Structure 1
Amino acid sequence: MEKVSVNSVYSIKQVADMLDIPTVTLRAWENRYNAINPIRTDAGYRMYSMENIEDLRWLKKQVEHHHMNISQAVLMLKAREKEKQELITAPKQQAGGNIEEAFSKMTDQIYQTLYHFQGERANALIDFGFSLYGYDSMFYHVLVPVLVRVGDAWESGRATVAQEHFMTSLISQRFFQFFHLFPIFPQLPKVVAFCPEGEHHQVGLMLFSLFMRKNGAEVLYLGASTPVEGVIQVIGEQHVQIVCISITSASKVIQTDAIVSQIAKEHEQVHFVLGGKGYEMAENPAYPQWIMKEPTEKWQEWLEKHPLFRQHG
């Protein structure tokens, strides 16, 4: 069976389904207007990268929502690309090539706009960051630090509940816009991901869910503070094979271990992934075999060794 890669490219049919753009339109935009340049296989088939897909998404928005003709939209896209290349070079020259400083500056800019409820400005900055640095870099080096900073500000009283909800909600929406771009491979195990009741910090869970989704697994993301009764019902009805749970405090380990026991009693064949700082600091967890001990850069290696994914390799 074909192995699923995190660095996937997509066929014209997959892109047409993702964006709801007819294949004939995709070919016309390429051939007549040179909108994008997908790579070609040895057999001549078009294969689209995530950058190609986002460019097409942007073009569709200009045509459908801003009533621009495609030739004008393509000219704007090319201008954006030129500006992007100039801006990629500029921060490196100004900061001595230190891209981390550029990430830090963008993190601060997005945080400040969200802190002051400037949603449109924040979305514009995020869009620009995606085009400038790519999706993975923006999520891991900019948006995740923003979410961590938001959580810290709320816990310390530097941000109100309204500010925390606004900031978290907007960034979560951007996560899931990206989340649903990836195709699902039905032969892979279905995953459910949640934080137990009382756990409201879901950054780590979102990242791991995004990673699983990028690898082709269908992930049912239930989010923060989810009652276990609903989870058990979903597992049975949806034939879930992997349950991911994240907690940020070691004080929640006993409660979460009890949830794992309850789920395992109802569904004996289910595999678990237990993560978050809570399990990293746990002294005597009941299910050490399920704890995700690998850092993010090792997740792909972990996945390829997982028995439920190895059989589809």
Structure 2
Amino acid sequence: MSTYSIKDLEQLSGIKAHTLRIWEQRYNLLSPKRTETNIRFYDDDDLKLILNVALLNDNGFKISKIASMDMGDIREEVMKLTERSLTHDDQIHALTICMIEMDEERFEKVLSTNIIKLGFEQTMLNIIYPFMSKIGVLWQTGAINPAQEHFISNLVRQKLIVAIDGQVSNGTGKKFLLFLPEGELHEISLLFASYLIKSKGHKVIYLGQSTPNEDLLSVYKVHSPEYLLTVITTSPSSEYAQDYINALADRFSQSQILVTGYQVIGQDLVFPANVKQMNYIRDIKELLEEIEQVPQEK
């Protein structure tokens, strides 16, 4: 069983800690436990409840009404909402609940419904990718545990691999070499980038997780790609990210290197001339659109 502080509940639900305390006192909505040293904490059941409460409250349910409902009624109303609501925030909230409860069937239903309504690419851009970015930060801060993060990541990964297999390159586009640094295992952004690149007719050489430098260099020599793309989420750490980027720029000086990730975005880094920071996955989409326009301008 995981334990959470009130700040963790705030991060996961979006409800201010001050508001949670008021609801706790006024409506007995939560029942915090205490450690042997008298520090308040909350458990998985408290988190599930507050996530459901937040979703209902965001959709017009008064807190006094929610407090009078039992868990069965709350869950039923949440399911009704997520099935008919098209707002991205509501869908992200629903997926967060699925993650906490490790409810694979429900996660699959939410994801499939959105793909049918919005299409795969828009579902990824507007719901899954922001959701994965959110839980990535929560994992970094310890608000969720590795098991929850792995559970969701593997489900999303399966969807992406199926979608990527459905894309066929015509052989006339650019070559992109996609990889993660040694020790880096967070693959979702890289897989989605692969999907986007292949969907535009370009060729992807996909090396995936934790690519040794020697393997990267040997594949590069064989394929001579115009672009290299990597995502730095945890490895190398922020203190070594600049050195790693500089080494990539020197080693692959004939190619454009695209970098993104938690250890890159918002950091005080200097990017060599052949390195471009991607602040968001949409930056990759915009780059692909620019590449498409180049032949038309000549």
Residue pair 1:244, 1:273 contacting (<8 A) in 2 also: yes
Greater displacement, 269-278 / 211-220: 269-278
Q: Distance in 2 between matches of 1:229 and 1:309?
A: 35
> Structure 1, residues 239-298: CA drift from partner, whole Å, max 9, x if none?
43321122246434323224414632xxx5433223335444454535144214576556
Q: Distance in 2 between matches of 1:255 and 1:237?
A: 25
Shift of 1:90: 5.6
TM-score using structure 2 length? 0.60
Matches within 5 A, 1:194-273: 194-248=179-233, 250-261=238-249, 263-264=251-252, 269-273=254-258
Identity within the alignment, % = 20
Shift of 1:129: 1.1
Residue pair 2:226, 2:256 contacting (<8 A) in 1 also: yes
Residue pair 2:83, 2:110 contacting (<8 A) in 1 also: no
Unaligned runs of 5+ in 2: 1-80
Unaligned runs of 5+ in 1: 1-86, 92-98
**Distance 1:112-1:247 versus aligned 2 partners, 3 A rule:** same
In structure 2, the residue matched to 1:157 is: 142
SS in 1 for 2:130: helix
Q: Distance in 1 between matches of 2:282 and 2:207?
A: 25
Q: Distance in 2 between matches of 1:240 and 1:182?
A: 19
Of 123, 128, 131, 2:116 maps to 131
Residue pair 1:148, 1:203 contacting (<8 A) in 2 also: no
> Structure 1, residues 182-223: CA drift from partner, whole Å, max 9, x if none?
220212222111221243444543443332122111213333
Of 127, 130, 135, 1:145 maps to 130
In structure 1, the residue matched to 2:103 is: 118
In structure 2, the residue matched to 1:18 is: none
RMSD: 3.2
Q: What is the number of equivalent residue pairs in this alignment? A: 214
Residue pair 2:82, 2:90 contacting (<8 A) in 1 also: no
In structure 1, the residue matched to 2:260 is: 275
In structure 2, the residue matched to 1:104 is: 89
* Amino acid corresponding to residue 226 of structure 2 in structure 1: Q
**Distance 1:158-1:89 versus aligned 2 partners, 3 A rule:** closer
SS in 2 for 1:225: coil
Matches within 5 A, 1:46-125: 91=85, 99=86, 102-125=87-110
* Amino acid corresponding to residue 302 of structure 1 in structure 2: L
**Distance 1:185-1:142 versus aligned 2 partners, 3 A rule:** same
Q: Distance in 2 between matches of 1:166 and 1:90?
A: 25
In structure 1, the residue matched to 2:158 is: 173
* Amino acid corresponding to residue 243 of structure 2 in structure 1: Q
In structure 2, the residue matched to 1:191 is: 176
Q: Distance in 1 between matches of 2:147 and 2:222?
A: 35
Q: Distance in 1 between matches of 2:117 and 2:94?
A: 15
* Amino acid corresponding to residue 231 of structure 1 in structure 2: L
Q: Distance in 2 between matches of 1:205 and 1:137?
A: 17
TM-score using structure 1 length? 0.57
Q: Distance in 1 between matches of 2:293 and 2:220?
A: 18
Q: Distance in 1 between matches of 2:83 and 2:249?
A: 53
In structure 2, the residue matched to 1:310 is: 294
* Amino acid corresponding to residue 161 of structure 1 in structure 2: P
**Distance 1:103-1:293 versus aligned 2 partners, 3 A rule:** closer
**Distance 1:167-1:302 versus aligned 2 partners, 3 A rule:** closer
